[in-house]
Amino acid sequence: MCTGWCILLRIEFLDTISRQGSAFTFEDALRASSARRETLWTILSRLEKKGWIERIGKGKYMIIPLGAEKGKYTLHEFVIGSMLAQPYCISYWSALHHHGLTEQIPNMVFIQTTSRKKVQKQKIFGVEYRIIRIKEEKIFGVERNWVEDTQINITDREKTLIDCLDKPQYCGGVVEVAKALNNEKPDAERLHLYAGKIGNSAVMRRLGYLSETMGIDLQLPKIETRNYVYLDPTMPKRGKKNARWRLIINLDEKMLGELE
């Protein structure tokens, strides 16, 4: 049975660890305490049983505030997502919605990482998480935003649009990018820079076609390749060819025109 002194020690421990945020790893806890590894596992297990913390995943926990009920309290999904991969960045449809670039609410949290993860999809507290591995050179355009009391890595507005053109399957399709370009008018210079930096010629072509359709002057370079790619790889594989951008337009152009 835990005495008052024991409870005080637990409170002091949680107070120390909470200064780093509402979520922590076993290694964070180890650095914040003088306990041995075996003892710390026992302490964390007891704190979880008492409803003071809750396990998010292996060696990952969140602190349950005083007055909150275990099993009914959870952190913001971005805070939990930040613990599922290292390095990480909230991206694609999740970032699109975070920046107000889409009215659509994604049904899962999308996370970029350069590390290998055996599990790409998982559900935590009823929320679906999707981890997408990308090349290290594609990690750029990242900003730190406060979510609750934690700073989260998230792609900036322009990088979010470029990522969505790189992998439209993770944003609801190219039409979501078209809507964002039409309504928000992002930084054209940064958009141009990122389009070249992403290392995928299809991105430049999709951006060129959409910006032309939306009336956005980006001054993109001429497309030299002879091969064609689909404007939206998530849509049916049919449509007319656009020679200027070397694209197969497999979206209804009238629908894009109505965005103007």
Domains of the chain: 4-63 (1.10.10.10), 78-257 (no CATH)
Check residue 67 and give its pLDDT. 66
The DSSP 8-state label assigned to residue 184 in this structure reads H
Tell me the C-alpha to C-alpha distance, in Å, between residue 98 and each of 20, 103, 156, 160. 23, 10, 10, 10
Q: Binning pLDDT at 50, 70 and 90, where does residue 1 land?
A: very low
CA-CA distance, 207 to 220, in Å (whole number)? 9
- Residue 257 pLDDT grade (very low, low, confident, very high; cuts 50, 70, 90): low
Q: For 20-63, write each residue's pLDDT tens digit.
A: 778 888 888 888 887 888 888 888 888 888 888 888 888 888 88
Label residue 153 by pLDDT band (50, 70, 90).
very high
> Per-residue pLDDT averaged across 5-23, rounded?
70
pLDDT at 188: 87
Interval 152-181 mean pLDDT: 95
Range from 14-18, 164-168, 169-173, 221-225 carrying the lowest mean pLDDT:
14-18
Give the model's pLDDT for residue 221.
84
Question: What is the phi/psi pair of residue 248, to 5°?
Answer: -100, 115
- Full-model pTM: 0.81
Which tens digit of pLDDT belongs to each residue from 204-223? 999 999 988 888 888 888 88
Most confident among 65-74, 219-228, 248-257 (mean pLDDT):
219-228
Distance CA 122, CA 90 (A): 15
63 with 71: CB under 8 angstroms?
A: no
C-alpha distance from residue 159 to each of 19, 170, 259, 260 (Å):
31, 14, 22, 23
Both tokens of 116, joined, read 């290998």
Q: Tell which residue, 49, 38, 52, has the closest CA to residue 9.
A: 52
